[in-house]
Amino acid sequence: MSRLLAYLPLYSWLKNYQRDSFVSDMVAGIVVGIMLIPQGMAYAFLAGLPPQYGLYAAIIPLFLYALLGSSRSLAVGPVAIASLMVGSTIADSTARGLGDPVTIAINLSLLVGVILILLRIMRLGAIVNFMSHSVISGFTSAAALLIAISQIRHLTGLNIPSGGFFTDTFSYLLSNLQAVNSATLLLGLSGLFTLWFVKAKLCCLLERSPLPVWLVQPVCRAGPMFAMIVGIVLVASLQLEQSHQVAIVGAIPEGLPTLSLISIDLQLWQQLLTPAFLIALIGFLESVSVGTTLASKRRERIDPNKELIALGAANLGAAFSGTYPVAGGFGRSMVNHSAGAQTTIASIISALMVVITVSFFTPLFYYLPKAVLGAVIIMAVIPLIDVKSFTDSWRFNKADALTLLGTFAFVLLLGVELGIMAGIAISFILLLYRSSQPHIAVVGRVGDSQHFRNIQRHDVATDKHILAIRVDESLYFANTRFVEDFIRAQCASHRQVEHVVLICNAVNFIDASALESLENLSVHLQSQAITLHFAEVKGPVMDQLQSTRFIEQISPGRIFFTTDEAVRELGLGDAEVYEI
Amino acid sequence: MSRLLAYLPLYSWLKNYQRDSFVSDMVAGIVVGIMLIPQGMAYAFLAGLPPQYGLYAAIIPLFLYALLGSSRSLAVGPVAIASLMVGSTIADSTARGLGDPVTIAINLSLLVGVILILLRIMRLGAIVNFMSHSVISGFTSAAALLIAISQIRHLTGLNIPSGGFFTDTFSYLLSNLQAVNSATLLLGLSGLFTLWFVKAKLCCLLERSPLPVWLVQPVCRAGPMFAMIVGIVLVASLQLEQSHQVAIVGAIPEGLPTLSLISIDLQLWQQLLTPAFLIALIGFLESVSVGTTLASKRRERIDPNKELIALGAANLGAAFSGTYPVAGGFGRSMVNHSAGAQTTIASIISALMVVITVSFFTPLFYYLPKAVLGAVIIMAVIPLIDVKSFTDSWRFNKADALTLLGTFAFVLLLGVELGIMAGIAISFILLLYRSSQPHIAVVGRVGDSQHFRNIQRHDVATDKHILAIRVDESLYFANTRFVEDFIRAQCASHRQVEHVVLICNAVNFIDASALESLENLSVHLQSQAITLHFAEVKGPVMDQLQSTRFIEQISPGRIFFTTDEAVRELGLGDAEVYEI
């Protein structure tokens, strides 16, 4: 029992839990709760589910994460990108007659939870490392853009067919401008205005006012709530849903979600496996990266293994409360942190606010216009469109920038699933391409030190009989021919060379193709009275070479401990050793 | 004109061409011709085409290669593996009603030729380097096995359905044992026996006899020819095709192929593009690797760029003579070399022998039993099954061995096309996996030298305030977390450390993910009063870092020229610097 408790991060935090900490958690929990209620409804909507499912996803999963999670301030619940992915899976699966949206959502949650826990058990959490920063950044920006575009339908009241190419939305919009529901559009714009006004103007005013922080904080984050109130009041007072056919949320069932039993449907699971895997990976990655960022601000660290379990449990909780997958969201986690959350008690407070809402206040949302939910979604995803990452990586590394741009383009063109897979493929191919044409330097001695550097960058001394070549890459199938050609060309243009020393301090492994190529090279050079030597071969590579007959085969070529030693020994017997 | 001539390797060879050389070429050409005629017919048969197409593929393509090729002894023509690939493409395409076998074969030749020439023009010949030795070896062995199994049908006279899984052949064989045509089986076995006898017994006897080499050489290689003669004589004399329904080749049209015009069929080309690309790559790779091996025996080298053009032209020649793709074959090239071929004049001699055969002798093949052609194919591909490569690579490098085995298994399970693509994917994934968990060493000073080596492998001196860590891999998305975790763990277990020096002599590039991770690491260590420094950063990486604000951000951490310098400067001010 005590070992189990020791596993729970919350238990260790509560040991030193003070009254102050609880007040902080309380404020942060309320602030996040105020955002969570409108966002939950809006994201459910984005996933193609009735709004209450977004609220259900903000109860049991939050309690489970609060218990098991290793991040003090990660705010778990329905998030934008996972909602988009669930939405596209639901649209796809219902079109193929695999079941109703809610059944598919529940099964997705179950699979996501199981996959995350399996990744922990199989110690494969490191798999997320194969998605590079650039792939994630390109993916996130493109997904945010797709989400924003998908809301045009709700802001205009137009029945834009979903599932097509993203430009279809614009062409439909342009050819049906006369059919735009102006009341809906005005409600949407008023929602956007309210959100912008609260965030950009009201908040600044209040922060400069003498009002206490515990009051300013919740008001600043209440933009979505205010937008909803404005929308509800306008629709209800002017009866816009009747006079102007404004689409409203309508009746939401009151009460907590009932625990559901999930039936085993192997055929459905097979169909949902790939999307569930991607939702699990993206959700885990988003949570870990936000969690790491926030933890490092406190000079702490989160434990990715515990996160796998905590997020897995949260998703199983989502499945059993009959709703769709959850993750740690970017926006609400940032707010949770800056509002002062000390522990996951804050999440429990947020969840309790949702419990109160679904228990008593759902009738208040009857007149809530869908256009306002669209506005809430758009304002939430705009910060995810990240142009700076692109400009930064363009300056630092063109391959990263290309990966980012490629992923962005493929997500827009092929959709989220195929798009991210294409992005990962691009990052792999560029990596291989880079290492297939490695940097190779001819080096010389720096002054009279034991160090050797590139003759093109440093003022170094070389021996005309010795060619010291450093290959800045492991030797393997994709670059072995390139390296061989370089060395042959160098030998051809330095006629006095008698010894070639291949400096292997950057060679981290040698594969079978490269081994064969080096043997051939050694034989070929020998025929021109040139001996091939090696220097600074690393321990693991040396072990590998010793398991073969390589060392005999390159004889009289030798393997030197250092370049210095090689050049000293091979240069002996020659009076005029160095020429600068 | 003279520049054009200078481009042709044959032209430079003929400058020093002697009577002796011509005699050597003549003998080699005849020896290869004796093999080429039966093999050509057999391989056409493997490709699903009438036997004469194999002979047509051995005329114009050989002349073109002789003119343009850079290998003195590569024997171009119909080859086993390309024939298998063509056969599977033809079976697939005719099943989908894309045209008759010959049309598909011609279009494949055309596409293969165009692809090879385009690869030269686009300077993309290096693309073959992405197929590792292990992928090729696994592929070749599996393809050879599939070829041998496919001939069971002809050796038994059973109508085994083609195109299925390779084990289907055995289950069909076992459940239809009573239907085996015993006369066909005996003919096949007599063919196998003749081939084995000539190669293993007769040849040894003759070599030890006082007979001249120019007589022994052709006889030794005439196994397939003898097997054909034995088969023809047996069938014709016993009328086995009537009394025992032995399948025979039948009437082969006499005369040279007529030059054909190829109609443009974009839809067909689109379908054939992937197989043509793979046939081109595999054919090019096989030719270059055989050519390189043979050239290195003469201490020469072939020019892969010229090979792309020469093989491209040879395949266009195949298309215009109305037949299927060619490549440089392993077996006949070896024979050509060991029979003494000096230049590609030998190939012209072989082609002339084929010309004479198709012009006058095709009626002789009327009674040739298909079982004998099957035996010829089986004996030709058995040497391609390469178990030694597997055992060698298992000892040297497990990843290579797994790639080889994986490719072998996938080719058997999925067929040649998907199989080789799966093999390439395996080799890429293993490569990434390896670099995602790089070798990391904590290093210390060797004696009082300027060199630093792994503390676990060498007797070195370390400073307890300085942790010098060498990462043996470039820093990028797949390994950045691994490296960060290693350094944090080391710092946690060495409480007295004040400086961490990351030695980057094996870091060939740093991507955006790794850059961010290093910045975070620097901030995190700073919070524990540890400073992160770098040493031995290479020129290209330094250029990259200088394009960002990284160097300011890691301050007070510094970038040292050498590890020696770093340890000397950081260790100053401490009396008891070194502890062994």
> What would the pLDDT profile of A278-315 be if each residue is shown by its tens digit?
999 999 988 988 888 888 777 777 888 899 999 999 99
**8 A C-beta contact, residue B115 and residue B96:** no
Residue range A20-28: mean pLDDT, rounded: 88
- B299: nearest CB among A472, A478, A527: A527
Residue range B458-465: mean pLDDT, rounded: 87
Distance to chain B for A481, nearest Cα, Å: 7
pLDDT of B573 > 70? The answer is no
pLDDT at A126: 77
Helix (H) or strand (E) holding A500: strand A499-503
Percentage of chain A exceeding pLDDT 70 = 98
Find, in chain A, the residue whose alpha carbon is nearest to that of B547: A396
pLDDT band at A163 (very low <50, low <70, confident <90, very high): low
What lies within 8 Å, CB to CB, of A45 at 6+ separation is: A51, A54, A154, A370, A373, A377
pLDDT at A82: 92
- The candidate with the shortest Cα–Cα distance to A140, out of A337, A329, A371, A334, is A329
CA distance B55 to B288: 23
pLDDT at A31: 87
Is pLDDT larger for residue A480 or for residue A259? Answer: A480
**8 A C-beta contact, residue A118 and residue A313:** no
pLDDT at A67: 93
CA distance B28 to B342: 9
CA distance A471 to B505: 11
Among A133, A443, A504, A543, the strongest candidate for a mutation testing the B interface, having the largest count of B CBs within 10 A, is A133
- Token pair listed for B98: 């894309």
- B524: nearest CB among A131, A296, A516: A296
B130/A393 CB distance under 8 A: no
Q: Are strands A76-77 and A327-328 parallel, antiparallel or unpaired?
A: antiparallel
pLDDT band at B127 (very low <50, low <70, confident <90, very high): confident
- A438: nearest CB among B132, B457, B508: B508
Distance to chain A for B216, nearest Cα, Å: 32
CA distance B426 to B419: 10
- B512: nearest CB among A397, A434, A547: A397
Q: Where are the domains of chain A?
A: 19-427, 440-571
From the centroid of its chain, how far is CA A536? 38
B395/A548 CB distance under 8 A: yes
Distance to chain A for B427, nearest Cα, Å: 9
**8 A C-beta contact, residue B486 and residue B440:** yes
Q: Which CATH architecture has domain A440-571?
A: 2-Layer Sandwich (3.30)
CA distance A295 to B523: 12
Residue range B114-133: mean pLDDT, rounded: 86
Cβ contacts (< 8 Å) between A521 and chain B: which residues? none
Find, in chain A, the residue whose alpha carbon is nearest to that of B521: A296
CA distance A362 to A366: 7
Mean pLDDT, all residues of chain B: 88
Cβ contacts (< 8 Å) between A516 and chain B: which residues? 133
pLDDT at B118: 94
pLDDT at A329: 87
What lies within 8 Å, CB to CB, of A313 at 6+ separation is: A64, A65, A68, A113, A117
Helix (H) or strand (E) holding A387: helix A387-396
- The candidate with the shortest Cα–Cα distance to A424, out of A182, A132, A52, A81, is A132
pLDDT at A351: 96
B428/A428 CB distance under 8 A: yes
Burial class (CB in 10 A: 0-12, 13-18, 19+), B474: buried
- B540: nearest CB among A439, A515, A516: A439
pLDDT band at A69 (very low <50, low <70, confident <90, very high): very high
- A129: nearest CB among B481, B488, B507: B481
Q: Are strands B452-454 and B460-461 parallel, antiparallel or unpaired?
A: unpaired
**8 A C-beta contact, residue A129 and residue B478:** yes
CA distance A474 to A406: 27
Find, in chain A, the residue whose alpha carbon is nearest to that of B513: A133
**A527-536, B125-134, B385-394: which has the minimum mean pLDDT?**
B125-134
Find, in chain B, the residue whose alpha carbon is nearest to that of A304: B481
Cβ contacts (< 8 Å) between B294 and chain A: which residues? none
ipTM attached to this prediction:
0.73
Cβ contacts (< 8 Å) between B426 and chain A: which residues? none
pLDDT of A164 > 70? The answer is no
Q: Are strands A452-454 and B466-471 parallel, antiparallel or unpaired?
A: unpaired
Is pLDDT larger for residue B484 or for residue A1? Answer: B484
Q: Is A196 helix (H, G, I), strand (E, B) or coil?
A: helix
One-letter amino acid for residue A186 of the chain: L
Residue range B316-332: mean pLDDT, rounded: 93
pLDDT at A61: 96
A397/B428 CB distance under 8 A: no
What lies within 8 Å, CB to CB, of A167 at 6+ separation is: none
pLDDT at A187: 93
Residue range B427-456: mean pLDDT, rounded: 87
CB environment A31-62: b (16+ within 10 A), e (fewer): bbbbbbbbbbbbbbbbbbbbbbbbbbbbbbbb
Residue range B480-487: mean pLDDT, rounded: 89
B505/A509 CB distance under 8 A: no
What lies within 8 Å, CB to CB, of A15 at 6+ separation is: none
Distance to chain A for B132, nearest Cα, Å: 5
Distance to chain B for A208, nearest Cα, Å: 32
Cβ contacts (< 8 Å) between A538 and chain B: which residues? 439, 472, 506
- Token pair listed for A261: 């039993």
**8 A C-beta contact, residue A374 and residue A188:** yes
- Token pair listed for B330: 């392993």
Alpha carbon dihedral A110, A113, A119, A125, in 10-degree steps, equals 140
- The candidate with the shortest Cα–Cα distance to A28, out of A17, A16, A36, is A36
Distance to chain A for B397, nearest Cα, Å: 7
CA distance B31 to B29: 6
pLDDT of A457 > 80? The answer is yes
Find, in chain A, the residue whose alpha carbon is nearest to that of B458: A539
Instruction: From residue A445, give the alpha-carbon distance in Å to each of A286, A452, A453, A565.
Output: 48, 4, 7, 12
Render pLDDT for A337-349 as a digit per residue (tens, 0 to 9): 888 889 999 999 9
pLDDT at B163: 64
Is pLDDT larger for residue B514 or for residue B312? Answer: B312
Distance to chain B for A528, nearest Cα, Å: 9
B392/A548 CB distance under 8 A: yes
Find, in chain A, the residue whose alpha carbon is nearest to that of B482: A126
pLDDT at A90: 92
pLDDT of A580 > 50? The answer is no
Among the residues of A18-79, which ranges form H helices?
A: 19-46, 52-56, 60-68
Instruction: From residue A430, give the alpha-carbon distance in Å to each of A398, A427, B563.
Output: 10, 5, 31
**A157-166, A243-252, B392-401: which has the minimum mean pLDDT?**
A157-166
Angle at CA A287, nearest 5°, toward A286 and A289?
Answer: 65
B434/A396 CB distance under 8 A: no
pLDDT band at B572 (very low <50, low <70, confident <90, very high): low
- B512: nearest CB among A129, A133, A516: A133
pLDDT band at B451 (very low <50, low <70, confident <90, very high): confident
Residue range A440-455: mean pLDDT, rounded: 88
Cβ contacts (< 8 Å) between B407 and chain A: which residues? none
pLDDT band at A578 (very low <50, low <70, confident <90, very high): very low
pLDDT at B410: 92
pLDDT of A570 > 50? The answer is yes
Residues present in chain B in total? 580
Find, in chain A, the residue whose alpha carbon is nearest to that of B393: A512
β-partners of residue A452 are A445
Render pLDDT for B7-55 as a digit per residue (tens, 0 to 9): 888 888 888 888 888 988 998 899 899 889 989 999 998 999 999 999 9
Distance to chain A for B30, nearest Cα, Å: 31
Based on C-alpha coordinates, what's the Rg of chain B? 31
Alpha carbon dihedral B536, B541, B543, B548, in 10-degree steps, equals -110
What lies within 8 Å, CB to CB, of B233 at 6+ separation is: none
pLDDT at A574: 47
- B134: nearest CB among A510, A512, A564: A512
pLDDT band at A576 (very low <50, low <70, confident <90, very high): very low
Residue range A384-401: mean pLDDT, rounded: 85
pLDDT at B164: 67
Through-space distance between the first and last CA atoms of chain A, rounded to whole angstroms: 73
Task: Name, of A124-128, A519-523, B213-217, B393-397, the range with top average pLDDT.
Answer: A519-523
β-partners of residue A532 are A500
pLDDT of A136 > 80? The answer is yes
pLDDT at B574: 47
pLDDT of A375 > 60? The answer is yes
Render pLDDT for A482-493 as a digit per residue (tens, 0 to 9): 898 899 888 888
A524/B435 CB distance under 8 A: no
Q: Are strands B499-503 and B466-471 parallel, antiparallel or unpaired?
A: parallel
Distance to chain B for A536, nearest Cα, Å: 10
A477/B132 CB distance under 8 A: yes
Question: Concatenated DSSP letters for B83-121?
Answer: HHHHHHHHHHHHHTTS--HHHHHHHHHHHHHHHHHHHHH
CB environment B238-270: b (16+ within 10 A), e (fewer): eebbeebebbbbeebeeeebeeeeeeeeeebee
pLDDT at A59: 95
